[in-house]
Chains A and B, each alone.
Chain A
Amino acid sequence: MKAAMGKLLFVDLSKGSFEERAVPDELYRDWLGGAGLGVRVLFDEIPAGADPLGPDNVLAFMSGILTGTGAVMAGRWTALAKSPLTGGIGDSNCGGDLAIAIKQCGYDGIFFKGRAATPRVFVCDAEGPRLEDGATLWGRDALETEAALKAAWTGKRRPAVASIGPAAEKLSLISGISNDGGRYAGRSGLGAVMGSKRLKALVLAGTRQVQAADPEKVRALSKDYTARVKAMTMPAFLRGRFLPLLGRLMGSKTVLPMDGFMSAGIMKKWGTNFNSMTGAVNGDTPLANWGGSVKDFPRRRFLHFDPDLIRAREVKKYNCFSCVIGCGAICDMSDFAGREGVHTHKPEYETVTTFGGLCLADDLGSVFRCNDLCNRGGLDTISAGSTIAFAVECFEKGIITKEDTGGLELRWGDSAAVERLLAMMIAREGFGAVLADGVRKASERIGRGSEALAVHSGGQEPGMHDPRADPQMGVSYAADPTPGRHTISAASYYNVARIWDFVSWAPPVTKPYPKSREYLPSEEEGRKGAAGACVKQVLDAAGGCLFALATGLTNWRLFDFLDAATGLKRSGDEYAEAGRRIQTLRQLFNLREGLDPRQTIPKGRLVGDPPLVSGPLRGVRLDLEGLVAEHWAALGWDRLSGRPTPETLGALGIGELGAWQPGPGVGVGA
């Protein structure tokens, strides 16, 4: 199929061998590419019950079907494997420059099996794939590793590099994979999978071209979108300190249809950090390990994270491959680092919140240093900061003492202690070793009732968006086969994406409605979340950016891009069906691993048990089980068990992939 390279590469690290496999067109038609094709292949390649950190696990690096076709906002790659953090399908996607580099090597995806005897670096260029010695890089941080590999490169073409840091080498279950100087595929613990295979880095420098079916059409779609994004700028008078007022307005009791395209202007100006100002006042931003509110972290404190302060540090805007928005930037942190010339990727909102408000800390310099520590050491910032916030609360409540922490006093707002603990986690030293695998493992190790303070979904720490403010965000945390993810579906994303203009069964949001409706389990809410999840799977198969989707499908025309690039002529309903197929197979993967989908539905403070006693979410409780049941039903899964029904598997043409399921129990809550 056009837009695809037609081949996958399998690398057996145990044997040091390579195998190219042609991909039949029907696989592309059913699974598109990227994360969709990746999960289809992994379903066959990873044996049920495989040790996620053993040689039987397979780690995939997938490029999107749209990547390299000339489509803008289509430069995201996805890493996939069985997750050591959740025990189910683990995926994590990332921008940077790796997605196009995979295709330029002639492949839609590269799969790593087995385990090398000694550290290796995978290299692929015009001479083909090979494995090189990585022993001298083992132990070095992810950014040093990338810099060293690029400095030693003698080829004409500048390579793209993905690498892991020491935390992944030490098999931290919350470690990720770095690319392009600190862009991270951070979620699902896939850095540990790479570390377990003793694969230190990938160096990709191919020169292949990607062919679109209708390059003129792709170009025209890209040109139109680019011109409108360029013209979209926020008014100069709009400063970061005004954002709390807007945040309060948008968090009101009425949900309004929103023009998603305006978000392009917000992202261009501030990136994701605008939310540091709005989230605290409307309840979106979790504070004090999800147990506090803006009363505990008032305006005078969260203003330390005014996005204008971060923007003032930008020395260069950063765009991922094919991105025309440019929410990223390279920032100067010399004063924070205590030496000249230190630059870093701008910390995202998630990072600012985990090392900021979640720990009730307001030191911007510390947030930059924690961001840099994670990027170098290899930890996912969401999981790492969340685990530290958990530890601080355990200490504050007397569950752990200085005897447990090796003399370290952990108090709300103590940024120096946060940094010290983070460094210990990366090195797996002392009390850091207790925390190095995330909150679930940490609470199991600590015990003493700490489990009640461990906020996670199926083992993964949720993103920094409170489901008590957006219940469909909670559904994503609970019901996505990679739980705890904030980039799947939410009422706010649904509002701006305008899926209903393309997918007939997606309910429209064209009139204001009471916010209270979002808290009630209903068929309509179920369909909204399901439509969002299905389109997100298409997006990840395409290699598209969530922030493009947020500008609205009527603006960034994903389905038209796919038609023009691949030659497929499909309706929005048909693409959504492909997304449902992918989502269903992800669920089957988890079921085959013996996971019970009901067990990933979080309980406790994430659903308001006990409810917050102050702030905009005071007294809010979520019926997440009811909302998830509607979500499962809308996907064609059993509403009680989360198992895809035989009818759904048949309709999606994947009945044989679910044939291992116990017959009589299927679909009836077995």
Chain B
Amino acid sequence: MQVRVFAPPFADFSVIDEGGMVELSEASTLGDLLRLLRVPFRGLVVRLFMVNREGASLDTPLHDGDTVSFLPLLAGG
């Protein structure tokens, strides 16, 4: 399955394809994805991730077409 990933700067981007997608095996969880992205301190950092814009944990199951987002901060005002 494929999920869209908006990754943090400390991730390993080599697993993200040109379209911003990551290939995962079926029944993968958010924890599996963060491991694949080599995100450090996953138990803590997971709190800054959302799956389909909802709070998630390392056990949250992922499904084909899901969006996993790291909190972005853009300029505005």
Q: Is the CB of B74 within 8 A of A256?
A: no
- Beta-carbon contact of B72 and A279 below 8 Å: no
For this complex, into which size category does the number of interface residues on chain A fall?
35 or more
User: What's the nearest-Cβ distance from chain B to residue A92, in Å?
Assistant: 15
Q: Which residues of A contact B16 (CB under 8 A)?
A: 511-512
Determine whether A348 belongs to the interface, using a CB cutoff of 8 Å to chain B: yes
Tell me whether A262 and B72 are in contact in the complex, defined as CB-CB below 8 angstroms, given that A231-B53, A232-B53 are known contacts.
yes
Q: Is the CB of A256 within 8 A of B9?
A: yes
Q: Is A584 an interface residue (CB 8 A)?
A: no
Q: How far is the CB of A95 from chain B (nearest CB, A)?
A: 13
Asked whether, in the complex, the Cβ of A262 is within 8 Å of the Cβ of B18, the reply is no
- A sample of 6 more A-B contacts (CB under 8 A), given A249-B8, A263-B74, is A247-B73, A256-B6, A258-B74, A259-B70, A353-B77, A546-B76
Report the separation of the CA atoms of residues A465 and B54 in the bound assembly, to the nearest whole angstrom: 30
Contacts A228-B53, A235-B55; A257 near B6 (Cβ below 8 A): yes
Of the residues A235, A243, A550, contact of B74 by C-beta under 8 Å: A550
Binds B, one of A488-496, A525-533, A595-603: A488-496
Contact of B13 (CB < 8 Å), options: A279, A464, A512, A547? A512
Asked whether, in the complex, the Cβ of B47 is within 8 Å of the Cβ of A237, the reply is: yes
Select A257's contact among B10, B20, B75, beta carbons within 8 Å.
B20
Smallest CB separation, A320 vs chain B (Å): 15
Question: Which one, A270-278, A415-423, A633-641, is touching chain B?
Answer: A270-278
Contacts of B50 in A (CB 8 A): 262
What are 11 inter-chain pairs, A to B, with CB distance below 8 A?
A243-B73, A249-B9, A254-B9, A256-B72, A258-B6, A262-B53, A267-B76, A274-B73, A464-B77, A486-B75, A511-B13
Contacts of A237 in B (CB 8 A): 47
Chain B residues with Cβ below 8 Å from A348 are 77
Known contacts A284-B75, A463-B77, A496-B74; is A262 also within 8 Å of B9 by CB?
A: no
In the bound complex, residues from chain A placing their C-beta under 8 Å from that of B74 are 250, 258, 260, 263, 492-493, 495-496, 550
**Chain A positions within 8 Å of B8 at CB level:** 249, 256
* Given contact pairs A246-B71, A252-B9, A547 touches B76 in the complex (Cβ within 8 A): yes
A286 to chain B minimum Cβ distance, whole angstroms, is 12
B73 near A256 with CB under 8 A, answer: no
CA distance A86 to B62 in the complex (A): 53
Would A246 and B13 count as touching, CB distance under 8 A?
no
Contact B53 A510 (CB under 8 A): no
- Say if the beta carbon of A433 comes within 8 Å of chain B: no
Of B20, B48, B53, chain A has the most CB atoms within 10 Å of the CB of B53
Query: Which 6 A-B pairs have CB atoms at the shortest separation, nearest pair first?
Result: A349-B77, A258-B72, A259-B69, A272-B77, A510-B20, A259-B6
Q: Which of A259, A260, A278 has the most CB of B within 10 A?
A: A259
CB contact list, A216-237 vs B, under 8 A: 228, 231-232, 234-235, 237
User: Residue B33 at the A interface, CB < 8 A?
Assistant: no
Q: Does A261 contact B (CB under 8 A)?
A: yes
Residue of A nearest to B21 (CB): A510
Contact B75 A279 (CB under 8 A): yes
Residues of A within 8 Å of B67, CB to CB, are 259
Shortest CB-to-CB span from B2 to chain A, Å, is 13
The residue on A at minimum CB distance from B13 is: A512
Task: Indicate if the CB atoms of A256 and B7 lie closer than 8 Å.
Answer: yes
The secondary-structure label for the interface of chain B is: loop
Q: Which residue of B lies closest to A495 (CB)?
A: B74
By the criterion CB–CB under 8 Å, are A266 and B73 in contact?
yes
Q: Does A625 contact B (CB under 8 A)?
A: no
Question: Quick check: A259 and B75 within 8 Å, CB to CB?
Answer: no
A492 contacts B53, CB within 8 Å? no
In the complex formed, the residue of B with least CB distance to A237 is: B47
Contact of A275 among B54, B55, B72, B77 (CB under 8 A): B77
The reply to whether B7 and A278 form a contact with Cβ atoms under 8 Å apart is no
A577 within 8 A of B: no
> What does the 1/0 interface line of B13-55 toward A look like (CB < 8 Å)?
1001011100000000000000000000000000110100111
A56 at the interface (CB under 8 A from B): no
| A146 close to chain B: CB less than 8 A | no
- Tell me whether A510 and B18 are in contact (CB under 8 A): yes
Contact: A275 with B7, CB < 8 Å?
Answer: no
Of all chain B residues, the one with the shortest Cβ separation from A236 is B55
A33 CA to B18 CA, complexed, in Å: 37
Q: Which residue of A lies closest to B9 (CB)?
A: A252
A470 interfacial by beta-carbon distance below 8 Å: yes
- Closest B residue to A546 by CB, please name it: B76
B9 to chain A, nearest CB (A): 5
Residues of B within 8 A of A550 (CB): 74, 76
Cβ of B3 to closest chain A Cβ, rounded Å: 12
Residues of B within 8 A of A486 (CB): 75, 77
**CB pair A275 B75 closer than 8 Å:** yes
Point out the residues of chain B lying under 8 angstroms from A246, CB to CB: 48, 71, 73
Q: Please, how many angstroms separate the alpha-carbon atoms of A338 and B70 in the complex?
A: 43
| B66 CB to nearest chain A CB (Å) | 12
User: Which among A235, A257, A278, A463 is the interface contact of B73 at CB below 8 angstroms?
Assistant: A278
Which residue of A has the minimal Cβ distance to B47? A235
From B16, B50, B55, residue with most partner A Cβ within 10 Å: B50
A350, CB-defined interface residue at 8 Å: yes
Question: A511 is contacted by which of B10, B18, B72, B76 (Cβ under 8 Å)?
Answer: B18
Cβ contact of B75, chosen from A231, A232, A234, A470, cutoff 8 A: A470
Q: Are A261 and B53 in contact (CB under 8 A)?
A: yes
Give the distance in Å from the alpha carbon of A495 to the alpha carbon of B74 in the complex. 9
Nearest CB of A to B35, in Å: 19
How long is the Cα–Cα vector from A256 to B11 in the complex, in angstroms? 10
Chain B residues within 8 Å of A463, by CB = 77
Q: What is the minimal beta-carbon distance from B14 to any residue of chain A, in angstroms? A: 10
From known contacts A256-B8, A275-B77, A510-B19, infer whether A262 and B55 are also in contact, taking CB-CB under 8 Å: no
Give, as a whole number of angstroms, the nearest-CB distance from B17 to chain A: 8
B69 to chain A: which residues have CB within 8 Å?
A: 259, 261-262
* Chain B residue at minimal CB-CB distance from A258: B72
For A254, list chain B residues within 8 Å (CB). 9
Kindly state the separation between the CA atoms of A496 and B18 in the bound complex, as whole angstroms: 17
CB pair A260 B77 closer than 8 Å: no
Chain A residue nearest to B69 in the complex (CB): A259
Instruction: Tell me the complex Cα distance, A623–B53, Å.
Output: 38
Measured CA separation A274–B76 after assembly (Å): 9
Contacts of A273 in B (CB 8 A): 77
Which residues of chain B are within 8 angstroms of A364 by Cβ–Cβ distance?
Answer: none
Contact with B along A60-95 (1 / 0, CB 8 A): 000000000000000000000000000000000000
